[in-house]
Amino acid sequence: MSLPRISFGIIVLNGEPFVRYNLRALYPFAHEILVVEGACVAAKNIATADGHSTDNTLEVLRQFKRDEDPENKIHIIIRDGFWNEKDEQSQAYAEKATGDFLWQVDIDEFYKPEDMTSIINMLQEDPFLSGASIKQLAFWGGFNYLTDGFYLRGGASLFRRLFQWGPGFTYATHRPPTVLDASGRDLCKLNWIEAEKLTAKGIFIYHYAFVFPKQVLEKSEYYGKADWSTQPLAKQWAQDSYLNLRKPYRIHNEYNSLSWLERFRGEHPPQIQALIADIQNGTIKVDLRQTSDIEKLMRSPSYKIGRSALIIAEIFHRKYHSAWNRQLYRAKHPVTSFKNLIRKSYKV
């Protein structure tokens, strides 16, 4: 039985320095790579007047198409002007997809090749699979650090990314990613691979969304203005938590929820290793966040204690649900002392 054909779908605005590395990572596994470049209306403040990237994302895409696409897999989809929303952008690549599966990828998301092979083999072995969710590892401030917290552990780290595809299928919404089959059924409610199954195999999305200051500032500008956003103070978060670490327990940009930093001790996907090497040798020019304050924080005994306390508190939160909400602020609750200690010491 032949391997399923994978159509990768990407939306990108100001995607540098990731673009060429992401395409190189996907190319061996792709039936086609459909890239929608440009901005939706909510992102107009970080786009050109005609709705394109302000960096050289579009030029890199065209260069890759010219120089590194011998099998004609790359399809660049653009328009002059703004897209209404990301729903429309996702639908634009989905409408052109001709593969057996549609795999949604952000430009700063990477996979290990062996993990992609494992997933594709799973699809081959069971042709009735409708798709999969995959857990992200969220990198923050550099390539050696991760963010974790209540929001991510509550389910936000699990991304719907892979969907069966065929005639009559439709991409319904971008938030959350939802694909309907020809009968109008939501694929994630059918024969779906849950993220926990892939996590048990050591398969993750390596998500580099908070590595570079440029990324963070642009995302904060976008999230602060989007109608759907829950982060109206995103720009303040970028200053207080990302650039200055004044709030070390509000690390994630979903800043209404407690979060923290952890050290990454694993191995990066090969194309991220190539990006790191090119940054170090000067081939790629990009501003990096200084990490001396992160290192100081990570070595701090009090931060280690506070982080451990929050992890325990989060376990209580998941275990007791409504009981947690009723008892959280009662003096006799065992987690209250942890929370009060952290608030007093770190002004979370």
Task: Give yes or no: residues 99 and 203 share one domain.
Answer: yes
- Quote the pLDDT of residue 232: 67
Task: Give yes or no: residues 203 and 339 share one domain.
Answer: no
Distance separating alpha carbons of residues 230 and 111, to the nearest angstrom: 28
Structure tokens at 92: 């634009």
> What values do phi and psi take at 269, rounded to 5?
-55, 155
The stretch 22-39 carries a mean pLDDT of 98
More confident residue, 58 or 315: 58
Exposed, middle or buried: residue 150 (CB in 10 Å: 0-12, 13-18, 19+)? buried
- Quote the pLDDT of residue 319: 72
Is residue 285 in some structural domain?
no
Tell me: the pLDDT tens digits for 146-180?
Answer: 999 999 999 999 999 999 999 999 999 999 999 99
The stretch 280-296 carries a mean pLDDT of 97
Is residue 247 in some structural domain?
no
Angle, helix 270-280 to helix 19-26, in steps of 10 degrees? 150
The stretch 282-306 carries a mean pLDDT of 96
Which of 172, 207, 242 is where one domain is finished?
207
Distance separating alpha carbons of residues 283 and 286, to the nearest angstrom: 10
Tell me how far apart the 2 most distant CA atoms of the chain are, in Å: 67
- Quote the pLDDT of residue 330: 41
Structure tokens at 194: 């849950």
More confident residue, 222 or 244: 244
Task: Specify the number of domains making up the chain.
Answer: 2
**Which domain does 324 fall in, by range?**
300-348
Is residue 81 in some structural domain?
yes
Task: Give yes or no: residues 49 and 185 share one domain.
Answer: yes
More confident residue, 326 or 265: 265
With a cut of 50, say whether residue 22 has pLDDT above it: yes
Task: Give yes or no: residues 171 and 318 share one domain.
Answer: no
Structure tokens at 3: 């391997």
Is residue 276 in some structural domain?
no
Is residue 255 in some structural domain?
no
- For residues 12 and 56, the answer to whether their CB atoms sit within 8 Å is no
With a cut of 90, say whether residue 7 has pLDDT above it: yes
Is residue 281 in some structural domain?
no
Domain at 131, CATH number? 3.90.550
Task: Give yes or no: residues 162 and 51 share one domain.
Answer: yes
More confident residue, 84 or 327: 84
Is residue 226 in some structural domain?
no
With a cut of 60, say whether residue 228 has pLDDT above it: no
Exposed, middle or buried: residue 22 (CB in 10 Å: 0-12, 13-18, 19+)? buried
With a cut of 90, say whether residue 338 has pLDDT above it: no
Which of 164, 188, 207 is where one domain is finished?
207
Which of 93-111 are b and which e, b meaning 16 or more Cβ less than 10 Å from the residue's Cβ? bbeebebbbbbbbbbbbbb
Is residue 130 in some structural domain?
yes
More confident residue, 225 or 114: 114
Task: Give yes or no: residues 193 and 65 share one domain.
Answer: yes
pTM to 2 decimal places: 0.91
With a cut of 70, say whether residue 329 has pLDDT above it: no
Tell me: the pLDDT tens digits for 51-106?
Answer: 999 999 999 999 999 999 999 999 999 998 999 999 999 999 999 999 999 999 99
Which of 162, 185, 207 is where one domain is finished?
207
- Quote the pLDDT of residue 221: 86
Q: SS3 letters for the chain?
A: CCCCCEEEEEEECCCCCCHHHHHHHHHHHCCEEEEEECCEHHHHHHECCCCCECCCHHHHHHHHHHHCCCCCCEEEECCCCCECCHHHHHHHHHHHCCCCEEEECCCCEECCHHHHHHHHHHHHHCCCCCEEEEEEEEEECCCCEEEEEHHHHHHHCEEEEEEECCCCCEEEEECCEEEECCCCCEHHHCCEECHHHHHHCCCCEEEEEECCHHHHHHHHHHHHHCCCCCCCCHHHHHHHHHHCCCCCCCCCCCCCCCEEEEECCCCCCHHHHHHHHHHHCCCCCCCCCCCHHHHHHHHCHHHHHHHHHHHHHHHHHHHHCHHHHHHCCCCCCCCHHHHHHHHHHHCC
Share of the chain above pLDDT 90, in %: 82
Least Cα distance to 249 among 320, 177, 330, 344 occurs for: 344
- For residues 131 and 192, the answer to whether their CB atoms sit within 8 Å is yes
More confident residue, 293 or 256: 293
